[in-house]
């Protein structure tokens, strides 16, 4: 266990019944090191595996697909946790969005190596990507993240990633879709998590859109999450705000309508 964000077994693809988030709820104040020490096994403690011929593993497409889903879900679970935590911090710092946000000049800018263009009330700044286990990081060729300041009335986050073709043959759309929302849903203090999911596209690039609400530590939060997948590239835009902030809701719709991706046909 190398990361507190892991919620699926990297061997079999099954969800871990006793992941760190669930364990921490039962053990308030417990750290990730406490969790590893008290609830995890070391490799030496595991029973010996039944020998399997190497060729059989390589030919087992279902196993490779399971591992791929785990990898993608783990990455975007970390992203969901990063943005979810940042959103609560932003909401603590600010009141509802002022209506003048809708009439002021917005910033239109192209972000990152993989050319995602967005219009937002405030410019997004490059930020440190969420921590990932080493075995997951090697699956990525590159990952970039951008976000609005916590001084703004609502939170906008952008993630761009390209996967390593030597490690992954094809991206799994549903793994990406499930990852972010599952981790936000499983964060400490989150209740009343409800969302819907529909297909979505940007310039014929396929993707999904998720809209939902949840409560965390007394804060009522609404979110829109968009993911776009093409070949080995992934783009994600997430907007989080107070649930009753109608101005932020209008701004979020305008933001997602502005998304452009300069990807060769």
User: Domains in the chain, please, with CATH?
Assistant: 20-261 (3.40.1000.10)
Reading the block at residue 202, the tokens are 């940007």
Residue 84 · residue 183 · CB < 8 Å:
yes
Q: How far apart are alpha carbons 186 and 77 in whole angstroms?
A: 10
Residue 21 · residue 187 · CB < 8 Å:
yes
Rounded to two decimals, the pTM is 0.68
The one-digit pLDDT tens for each residue of the chain (265 residues) are 555 555 445 444 455 556 666 666 666 777 767 666 666 655 444 444 434 333 333 344 444 444 444 444 555 555 555 556 666 666 666 678 999 999 999 999 999 999 999 999 999 999 887 777 777 778 788 889 898 887 788 889 898 988 888 776 666 666 666 666 666 676 677 788 888 888 999 988 998 898 988 888 788 888 898 989 888 888 989 898 888 899 999 999 999 999 999 987 6
Residue 172 · residue 72 · CB < 8 Å:
yes
């Amino acid at each position: 266990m190398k990361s507190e964000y892991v919620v699926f077994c990297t061997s079999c693809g099954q969800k871990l019944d006793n992941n760190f988030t669930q364990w921490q709820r039962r053990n308030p104040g417990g750290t990730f090191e406490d969790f590893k020490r008290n609830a995890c096994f070391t490799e030496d403690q595991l029973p010996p595996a039944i020998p399997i011929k190497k060729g059989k593993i390589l030919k087992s497409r279902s196993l490779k697909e399971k591992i791929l889903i785990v990898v993608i879900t783990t990455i975007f679970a970390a992203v969901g946790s990063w943005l979810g935590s940042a959103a609560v911090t932003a909401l603590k710092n600010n009141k509802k969005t002022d209506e003048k946000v809708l009439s002021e000049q917005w910033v239109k800018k192209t972000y990152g190596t993989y050319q995602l263009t967005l219009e937002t009330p405030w410019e997004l700044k490059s930020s440190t990507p969420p921590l990932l286990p080493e075995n997951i990081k090697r699956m990525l060729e590159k990952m970039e993240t951008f976000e609005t300041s916590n001084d703004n009335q609502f939170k906008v986050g952008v993630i761009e990633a390209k996967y390593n073709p030597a490690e992954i043959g094809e991206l799994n759309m549903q793994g990406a879709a499930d990852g972010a929302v599952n981790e936000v849903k499983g964060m400490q203090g989150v209740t009343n998590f409800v969302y819907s999911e529909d297909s979505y596209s940007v310039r014929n690039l396929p993707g999904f859109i998720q809209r939902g609400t949840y409560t965390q530590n007394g804060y009522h939060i609404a979110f829109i999450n968009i993911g776009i997948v093409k070949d080995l590239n992934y783009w994600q835009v997430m907007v989080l705000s107070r649930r009753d902030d109608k101005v932020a809701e209008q701004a979020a719709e305008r933001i997602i309508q502005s998304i452009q991706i300069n990807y060769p046909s």
